[in-house]
Amino acid sequence: MTNTHSAICRVCPAYCQIIAHVDAGKLTKVTGDKDDPYFKGYTCPKGRALPEQHNNPNRLLHCQKRASANTFENIGSEAAMDEIADKIAAIIEKHGPRSVAVYGGTGQVSTPVAPSVAVSFLMGIGSPMHFTSSTIDQPGKHIAMAAHGLWGAGELDFNTANSWIIVGANPVISKASGAPGNNPAQRLKAAQERGTKLIVIDPRVTETAKRAHIHLQAKPGEDPTILAGLLNIIITEKLYDQAFIEEDVEGFEALAERVALFTPEYVAKRAEIDVDQLIAAARTYASAVGQSGRGGAVTLGTGPNMSLHGSLSEYLGYCLMSVCGYWSRAGDKVTKPNVLTPAYIAKAQARPPYKGWDYPEKMRVRNLSKTASGMPTAALADEMLLEGEGQVKVLICLAGNPMMAWPDQNKTYKALKNLELLVVLDYHMTATAELAHYVIPPKLSLETPATTQLCEGNKHYGYGLGFDEPYASYAPAVVEPPKGADVVEEWAFFYGLGQRMGLNLFVASQTGWDKFQESSPAFAFLDMKNKPTTDELHEHLTANARISLEEVKKHRGGKIYEVKEIVQPKDPAFEGKLCIGNAMMMQELADVFAEPPASQEAVNDFPFRLVCRRLNSVINSAGRELKKSLGKQYNPAYMHPDDLNRLGLSSGDTVLLSSPHSAIRGIVEADATLLNGIISMTHAFGGNPGEDDDKVIEIGSNTGRLVSVEKNYDPITGIPLMSNIPVRVDCI
């Protein structure tokens, strides 16, 4: 007999409400929950593949311990934790706590309780070495927020916007950055029908760009130029919000002076776009100036963030919103009020700029340090390779896949091989797990309880993330792990180490996530003798929620709560302002103006530009193991048909793609949605170095191998050039 249970899909941060069909204790099907008031039955192929993930014969059900260079053996989870705790203690004794690092990857969205316990573990042993995928994703977001400041009234409403700019993001596929995640294709279509004018900047006519009123199909890497150009038009044509700028913004003159360099003709020529379209985009964007609640956001994705100057591009996006006064005003509805995070008073006032970079924790390479985005992951491989005090000897990899995802795969390979201890928490034998000393398989998402708190908090990461209604949901575990499995929840692994190492671990309630208030998180110390339940941890995490978890639990299946918050006016004596003339950003913009649009090297020897792209069936490397749901098993190198013709190539041919750093094979495929000279290719495919050359049709290839972390990187966050990579195409 089939039972159905409401549940929350946690494959990606959209957190769709789903129905899990369970037959004799086995997850057999996932469908959308049509009764859910927010998701209304929406799912995507990755969510519908949850049964294949949970029941996959290749799923690991026992901890693995390396037995030889190429083999692993089963080990009991308690024994594994005994051995790992002993090893870590011995390494700390010899090399100090900084030798132990944790890397948390994208899979953490499936296991939202774990990161807090992992951080507490690191604090317990005294190591500052906590890294996440955030710094190889869109670290510019955090830098820009710090340089610009935040607006206390929060986000603009997607539902009432006159215009909306999306730069190098494709929310229809990624469900991230740009449009709300509850069926972004539908949300964009509805916006278009309402008359919202969408402006998209992308070298490809993406599924999102198809909904655009104006698509600036610009060359990649020119986002700072284009955004500065839009600002220049808005300023010279006096389309900005004078009153808002006088009251709440500083730095206007500095910005105006700098963007004046970026005349429409200069920008159009440099980015290879039509000058009239550029001017039309600026006028369209500014068309709601002075109309409270009608402004539009500028949202940026991985494209600009991975093409260098990501922080600057994000910053100029904020500048566009601030010169137009496109922030919620007193009397407007609060667009994303908290539910499972704490209530706060939304005020129409700035939270002025704060320190976002150059934090005291230094890396030993490239003069990098911790920033508001965290520790620079692009330098972690160097930290494992560089001998001397502080060298990283232990890596615990929590739901991430460095071998597939980190920039410079060859260096990552050497670095991971150099470790004294690599522990991978993952549910299958990934390319990273293959190099591990221990692999610890977890329960999978539908085997553990969940709340929607993580998705709610994501609104602080960028527009189009987080729910745009006061929505929340709780779901218990709906299936048990397969019979005989000895799997450990990720948080319980860190807890197990903590018990053995005599640490007092805690979880921090999510108060601290709310950037609009100054209060710090509430810490709940865990009982280190009697193991808490995952539900108890969720209770700690939601301790300060506006609507209690107890209340949310009563409404199984997701509910939009009656939270009708109105933005309050500015405190009478408040003088803080947003900043649009940050000196470092203005200098970087001058540098952009001075730099040649494309280096000679790129033009002569590497005439193509490889840009990032996401596939609907996978989330980075996760899902590649689900052969039935995956479709194509490799990542095609999409190119314009004219480029293929010119090179005498046809779809399906194998080529060698060389960057100034390294080379990979690729299988070309015609894609007329691309600009000439662009190769659009997904990351996190292929195998470890040497494994994919002869198997490119079976497993694809790894674009991260083409990236150097030492040349062309952001000096603040360390993110290297990971999109807009110069490449040459050779027939083989």
224 is a site residue for ligand MGD (CB under 6 A): no
14 is a site residue for ligand SF4 (CB under 6 A): yes
Question: Segment 150-189, which members bind ligand SF4 (CB under 6 A)?
Answer: 175
341 is a site residue for ligand MGD (CB under 6 A): no
- Listed in sequence order, the residues at least 6 apart from 267 whose beta carbon sits closer than 8 Å to its beta carbon are 225, 226, 228, 229, 232, 273, 275, 278
Least Å from the CB of residue 103 to ligand SF4: 22
Least Å from the CB of residue 46 to ligand MGD: 6
Least Å from the CB of residue 347 to ligand MGD: 31
Which residue, 294 or 443, has its beta carbon nearer to ligand MGD? 443
Among 33, 36, 52, 137, binds ligand MGD (CB under 6 A): 137
Least Å from the CB of residue 213 to ligand MGD: 17
Which residue, 5 or 10, has its beta carbon nearer to ligand MGD? 10
Containing H/E element for 300?
A: strand 298-300
Q: Which residue is nearest to ligand SF4, using beta carbons?
A: 47
| Residue 387 exposed, middle or buried by CB count within 10 Å (0-12, 13-18, 19+) | exposed
Three-state SS annotation for 316-364? HHHHHHHHCCCCCCCCCECCCCCCCCCCCCCECCEECCCCCCCCCCECC
User: Measured between alpha carbons, how far is 468 from 394 in angstroms, rounded to an integer?
Assistant: 40
301 is a site residue for ligand MGD (CB under 6 A): yes
Binding segment (CB under 6 A) for ligand MGD, from list 227-235, 398-406, 412-420, 582-590: 398-406
464 binds, among Mo ion, ligand SF4, ligand MGD, none (CB under 5 to 8 A by kind): none
What is the 3-state composition of the chain as percent helix, strand, coil, each rounded to the nearest 5? 35, 20, 45
Helix 490-501 with 114-125: angle, nearest 10 deg: 20
User: Site map for ligand MGD, 189-208, x if CB under 6 A?
Assistant: ------------xxxx-x--
Binding segment (CB under 6 A) for ligand SF4, from list 9-17, 221-229, 459-467, 569-577: 9-17
Least Å from the CB of residue 531 to Mo ion: 32
In 87-237, the DSSP E strands lie at: 100-104, 130-132, 150-151, 163-167, 197-201, 214-216
User: Site map for ligand SF4, 45-74, x if CB under 6 A?
Assistant: -xx---------------------------
What token pair was written down for 70?
A: 């190429």
Q: Which residue is nearest to Mo ion, using beta carbons?
A: 137
User: Measured between alpha carbons, how far is 308 from 581 in angstroms, rounded to an integer?
Assistant: 20
Q: Closest Cα to residue 43, out of 12, 75, 83, 81? A: 12
Q: How far is CA 483 from CA 71, 74, 479, in A?
A: 24, 16, 11
Helix 223-236 with 583-594: angle, nearest 10 deg: 110
**Maximum CA pair distance of the chain?**
70
3-state secondary structure of 267: helix
User: Measured between alpha carbons, how far is 542 from 508 in angstroms, rounded to an integer?
Assistant: 9
Report the Cα 429 to chain-centroid distance in Å.
23
Which residue, 137 or 202, has its beta carbon nearer to Mo ion? 137
Among 44, 233, 492, 508, binds ligand SF4 (CB under 6 A): 44
Query: Where does this chain bind Mo ion (CB under 5 A)?
Result: 137
Among 5, 6, 7, 12, binds ligand SF4 (CB under 6 A): 12
Question: Segment 429-448, which members bind ligand MGD (CB under 6 A)?
Answer: 430, 442, 444-445
453 is a site residue for ligand MGD (CB under 6 A): no
What token pair was written down for 221?
A: 């890497």
Among 140, 171, 181, 449, binds ligand MGD (CB under 6 A): 171
Binding segment (CB under 6 A) for ligand MGD, from list 55-63, 184-192, 289-297, 700-708: 700-708
Among 154, 704, 718, 720, binds ligand MGD (CB under 6 A): 704
Residues 272-307 as b/e (b if ≥16 CB within 10 A, e otherwise) read bbeeeebbbbbebbbbbbeebbbbbbbbbbbbbbbb
By CB under 6 A, how many residues form the interface with ligand SF4? 11
Report the relative pairing of strands 450-451 and 523-525 from DSSP bridges: unpaired
117 binds, among ligand SF4, Mo ion, ligand MGD, none (CB under 5 to 8 A by kind): none
User: Measured between alpha carbons, how far is 476 from 483 in angstroms, rounded to an integer?
Assistant: 19
Q: Which spans of this chain sit near ligand MGD (rule: CB under 6 A)?
A: 12, 105-107, 110-111, 133, 136-137, 167-171, 173-177, 201-204, 206, 220-221, 223, 301-304, 306-307, 399-402, 404-405, 425-428, 430, 442, 444-445, 490, 611-616, 618-622, 680, 683-684, 703-704, 707, 722-724
Binding residues for ligand SF4, rule: CB under 6 A, are: 9, 11-12, 14-16, 43-44, 46-47, 175
